[in-house]
Chains A and B, each alone.
Chain A
Amino acid sequence: MTGFLIQRLLQAIVIMAVMSVIVFAGVYAIGNPLEVLLPPEAPQDIRDAVIKRFGLDRPLWEQYGLYIYNLFQGDLGRSYIYNEPVLQLIFGRLPATIELVLTSVIGALVIGVPLGIWAGYRPNAFSSRAIMAVSILGFSVPTFWIGLILILTFAVNLGWLPSGGRGDTVEVLGVAWSVFTLDGWSHLILPATNLALFKLAIMIRLARAGTREVMLSDTVKFARAAGISEGTIIRRHVLKLISIPIATVFGLELGSTLAFAVVTETIFAWPGVGKLIIDSIQNLDRPVMMAYLILTAGLFVTINLVVDLVYALLDPRLRRRAAP
C-alpha cells in the first residue's frame, strides 16, 4: 500500500510540473495580457513602463522560471485585475463553489442511485420507464437552458425563490457558508438543482445498468435460493457490487463540477470560483489562471488517489492484491 501511495505521489508531481509548463506556454502564446488591460490611449512610453513593471518584456523561460521560483516561496502572485494575492482571491470564493457542488453531487447520488436500482430491478415497470425518460432529458438538455427555465418558472413567474446570488451566510470555522441559513438554502436550491440534473442522469443510468447485470448473476440466484429477502439482497449484494463504477464517476464528476461549474455560476450570479476563472481568462489575468489551473490539476490528482483508495475499501480483492 505504501509503495502504491509513493508511486501515485510521484506521478502527481510529474503531472503538475508538465501541466504548469503547458499552461504557462499556452497563456504566453495568446499574447501579452497588457494589450487587453492597458488603456487604449496610453502612449508608448507608459506602455513600455508598465510591461517592464510586470516583467512581461522578459523571455518566456525567464518568466516561467521566476514564476516557479516564487511558487516555491509560496507566492503565486497578485491578480492583475484585483491586485489581491491570488490565493486569497481563489480561497475567498471557493467555499461558495464547494457548497454548491457538494449539495448537487451528493443530492444526485442520494436520489439517483436508488432510482437507478429500482429501474434496473424492475426494468419493465411504468415507473422505471418514466425514470429513464427523465434521465434522458437530464443528459440531453443544455444546462444553461434549464437554468434559465428554472429562473423563469420559480423566480420570475412564481416568485418563490430568488433569481440569483448567495443570500445570507454565517461564519463557521472562519469561512462564510450559506448552507446553514434558510435564506441561503432558498438561494442554493435552484443552482444546485440545475447543476445536479446531469449528474443525476448519470447516476441513474450507471446504477440501472449495474443492477440489471448483477440481478442475473449467480450471487443473486444463490442468495434467492437461500431464502434471503429481496431487500437484503439489494442492500448487501447489489449495492456493493455496483458501487465501484459509481465511485469512479462520482469522483470524476465531483472534480469536474468543482473546477467547471462555470455555466451555472454565471446564470445564477453565484459568487464562486467558476465565474472568477472565466473572467480571468477573458481578461488574460495570468496569475489567477495559472494558480487556478494548477490547483485544479492538484484537485484531480487528489480525487483520483482517493477514488483508488475507496476501491480498495469497497472491493476486498483489490485490497488483498495491493497488499505487499
Chain B
Amino acid sequence: MKPFSWAIALGGLLVATAAGAQTLTVGVRGGPESMDPHFSALGPQADAVKHIYDTLVGTGVDLQLEPSLATSWEPIDDVTWEFKLREGVKFHDGSDFTAEDVKFSIERIPNVTGPTTMEIYIRRIADVEIVDDYTLRITTDGPAATLPFDFVRLFIVSSAAAADFSDIESATEGFNSGEAAIGTGPFKYVSWEPKGELVLERFDDHWRGAAPWESVVRREISDDSSRLAALKAGDVDLINYVSSADYLALERDNDINTFLGDSVYVMNLQLDQRDETPKVYAKDGSPLGENPFQKKAVREALDLAIDRETMVDIVLEGLGTPARQLMPEGFFGSSDEIEAKPYDPDRAMELLAEAGYPDGFAMDLYCTNDRLPGDGAICEGLGQMFAQIGIDTNVNAISRSVYFPAQARKEYSAFMNGWGTLTGEASYTLGSLAHSPNEEVRMGAFNRIEYENPEVDRLMQAGSKELDADKRRAFYEEAMKLTVEDRAYLPIVVLQTVWAANADAVGDVATRADEETLAFYIQPAS
C-alpha cells in the first residue's frame, strides 16, 4: 500500500503544477460496446464515444440542434441538403478535418455496424457529393425534412486512420487498440476493454477550446448501491443514475452535490387495438369475445384511473413529472394545447359501465423492470389503480430481455415501457409509435398495438416531406394532439435523472436531457 500511495501522491504533485491539470473519475452505470463509434446506436455507447469523436450536428442540453462539425445546413431543393463544414478543425493525429472524412464516415457505417444498427441515421441518404473541402451535398431518397436530426449521432472518424479498419472483422480490433480511434473530440483515447475502464486524455487543440480536465476515467459500475458507495468512498468523483431512494438521502449530505435533470424518457401504457387480443379476460377467466380496448370509453376509463401525481410523489419519490403527451414538453412537435390529465376514478367506473363492463374485467399487464429507474414500481402502481375501478390486473414486471421479444411477437394486450425521444423531435416518436405499421413509408415499426388513425398517418407523412420547419412543427403538433386524444397510448410520467458528485472535486454538471455525462461540460470545483 505505502509505495503505491506515495507514487500517486508524487504523481499528483507533478501534474498539479500544470494549469487545470486534474483527473475526473466517473462511475457510470453502462459503458461502451466498442471504440468504433459506428458499431452501435445504444445510449451508453454514444455517451462514451462522444468524448473522442464529434458529431456532424450537435445538440444542446435540451436536445435542440446546434452547430458542431457542420456550421450550417439548408435544403437547396426537395431532395438535397447542403452542409457547410467547420474550417481549421484538427484530428487527434494532427491532420485536418475535411468533407472527405464525412463522406467516408457515412459510407463506412453499413460495413461495420452491429445489431444495434447505426443505419437508422443514414437510411435517407442516397448519395454524398463533395463540393469542396468544406461543403457537402447530400441527396436523399425523397424529401427528408429531419435529416439534420439524424446527424446528431453521425460520428466523424478520420478517413486516413480508419481506412484499413472498415469491415466488420477488422474494425473492432483497429479501434479498440487505439490505432484507428482518431477523432476530433475534446479527449484522446488511451485505453479501454469491454466492461472495464475507459481512460481518456485531453486534446489540447480541440476546436471548442481545451476541456477543463487533464484526463478522464470512466469506470463501469452497474450496481446502483456500489456506484454510490464508490462515490462516498471517494473512489470516483461523479456518478450517474442515482436511484430515487438514494437521492433523498444524498440531499442531506453536505459533501455530495446532486444535479437533477429532465430526461427524454416517458413511460407509456400501450393498449392493443387488434380485433382479438390475447391477455384480457372476463373476471372468471373466460374469454371476453371482444377486445375492450377498442372501445374509446374503456381507454378513457383507464386513463382517468391513473393518479399521476401519486405516481410521481410516492412511487418515484418526486423524480419525475406527470406526462401529458408522448414526449417531454418543449420538444419539437410537442403541443402546448394538451391539458394535464385528470384523475377521476368515479367517472372511470361510469365509463366502464357505459361500455358494457359494469363489473370490470381482468387483464395481464406487462412491463419492464430492469430498463429504466422505477419502471417495475410504476407497473405495480398501475395495477393497484386499475383494480380500484374494478379491472383485476395481474402485474408482470419482467426483464427487458423477455419483454421486448414477446412484445414484438404481439403477445401482450396492455403493456408499459419507456420511450426516449432521443432526437428531440416528434417524427422519431410519433413516426415509430403512432403511425400505423407501414413498410412502404417506413413508419410505425414500433407500433406494436396496431393503432391506426388515418389523419395521424397523413400528418406524419406530410411532415416528413415538409422542409419548412414551422409548417412541419404544426403537422406534428396536430398529430400529437390526435394521438393523445385517442388514448391508445397513455403517457404516465416523464422521468428525471440524477447525477451526484463530490463537492470538493466537481463544481457543476450539465444535466443533459439525453442523460449523457460529458466531461467537457463538467466544471471542476473552484
The CA-CA distance from A93 to B401 in the complex, in Å, is 23
Q: Is the CB of A37 within 8 A of B233?
A: no
With most chain B CB atoms within 10 A of its CB, the pick from A31, A39, A84, A165 is A39
- For residue B120, CB closer than 8 A to chain A, the reply is yes
A36-B405, A182-B4 given; A44·B120 CB < 8 A = no
Residue A314 is within 8 A (CB to CB) of chain B in the complex = no
Known: A37-B116, A39-B116, A162-B235. A32 touches B226 (CB 8 A): no
Q: Is B225 part of the contact surface with A, judged by Cβ < 8 Å?
A: yes
From 24 to 68 in chain A, residues with beta carbon under 8 angstroms from any chain B beta carbon are: 30-47, 49-50, 54
B53, CB-defined interface residue at 8 Å: no
Contacts known (A81-B33, A159-B234, A182-B1); A152 close to B229, Cβ less than 8 A: yes
Contacts of B13 in A (CB 8 A): none
* A148-B229, A163-B226, A269-B219 as given contacts; A31 in contact with B117, CB under 8 Å: no
A165 and B408 within 8 A (CB):
no
In the bound complex, residues from chain B placing their C-beta under 8 Å from that of A276 are 194-195
Report yes or no: B445 in contact with A269, Cβ–Cβ below 8 A. no
- How would residues 228 to 251 of chain B score, 1 for a CB under 8 Å from any chain A CB and 0 otherwise? 011011110000000000000000
Interface of B is mostly: loop
Contact B115 A38 (CB under 8 A): yes
B270 part of interface (Cβ distance < 8 Å): no
Given A84-B172, A148-B225, A164-B221; A43-B443 close (CB under 8 Å)? yes
**Which of A43, A275, A281 lies at the interface centre, i.e. has the most chain B CB atoms within 10 A of its CB?**
A43
A80 adjacent to B114 (CB under 8 Å): yes
Question: Are B117's CB and A39's CB within 8 A?
Answer: yes
Give the interface residue-count category, chain B: 35 or more
Q: Kindly state the separation between the CA atoms of A81 and B40 in the bound complex, as whole angstroms.
A: 8
B33 partner, pick from A30, A83, A165, beta carbons under 8 A? A83
* Across-interface contacts of B229 in A (CB, < 8 A): 148, 151-152, 155-156, 163-164
Q: Is the CB of B404 within 8 A of A35?
A: yes
> A308 contacts the other chain (Cβ, under 8 Å)?
no
Q: Which B residues between 37 and 79 are near A, CB-CB below 8 angstroms?
A: 39-41
Q: Considering only CB atoms and an 8 Å cut-off, how many residues of chain A contact the other chain?
A: 57
Shortest Cβ gap from A215 to chain B (Å): 43
Q: A279 touches which one: B195, B196, B221 (CB < 8 A)?
A: B195
Asked if A302 CB lies within 8 Å of chain B CBs, one says no
Contact present for A269 and B230 (CB under 8 Å) = yes
| Contact, CB under 8 Å: A41 / B401 | no
Contact between A164 and B235 (Cβ–Cβ < 8 Å)?
Answer: yes
Give the docked Cα–Cα distance between A168 and B443 (Å): 50
B208-234 interface (Cβ within 8 A of A) = 219-223, 225-226, 229-230, 232-234
Closest Cβ of chain B to A52, distance in Å, is 12
Given A34-B115, A84-B194, do A47 and B234 touch, yes or no (CB 8 Å)?
no
Min CB distance, A26 to chain B, in Å?
12
Q: Are A82 and B34 in contact (CB under 8 A)?
A: yes
Give the docked Cα–Cα distance between A42 and B445 (Å).
Answer: 7
Interface pair B120/A41, CB less than 8 Å apart: yes
Asked if B477 is at the interface (CB within 8 A of a chain A CB), the reply is: no
Q: Which of B197, B225, B446 contacts A267 (CB 8 A)?
A: B225
Kindly state the separation between the CA atoms of A43 and B399 in the bound complex, as whole angstroms.
24
In the assembled complex, B171 has its CB within 8 A of some CB on chain A: yes
B409: Cβ under 8 A from any A Cβ: yes
Q: Does B9 lie at the interface of the complex (its beta carbon under 8 Å from any beta carbon of A)?
A: no
Q: How far in angstroms is the closest Cβ of chain A from B36?
A: 8
Q: Is A95 an interface residue (CB 8 A)?
A: no
Q: Tell me whether A40 and B168 are in contact (CB under 8 A).
A: no
The answer to the question of A248 belonging to the interface, with a C-beta cut-off of 8 Å to chain B, is no
A152 to chain B: which residues have CB within 8 Å? Answer: 229
User: Which residues 455-495 of B have a CB within 8 angstroms of A?
Assistant: none
| Apart from the given pairs A44-B445, A156-B229, A271-B193, 14 other A-B contacts in the complex at a CB distance below 8 Å | A31-B408, A33-B405, A36-B401, A40-B446, A46-B123, A49-B119, A50-B117, A50-B119, A79-B194, A156-B233, A163-B230, A164-B230, A164-B235, A182-B3
Closest A-B pairs by Cβ, 8 of them = A31-B405, A43-B442, A37-B115, A155-B233, A163-B233, A35-B408, A35-B405, A269-B221
A-B contact pairs, 5 of them (CB 8 A): A30-B402, A41-B428, A183-B1, A276-B194, A282-B370
Residues of B within 8 A of A (CB): 1, 3-4, 33-34, 36, 39-41, 114-117, 119-120, 123, 168, 171-172, 176, 193-197, 219-223, 225-226, 229-230, 232-235, 370, 399-402, 404-409, 419, 428, 431-432, 437, 439, 442-443, 445-446
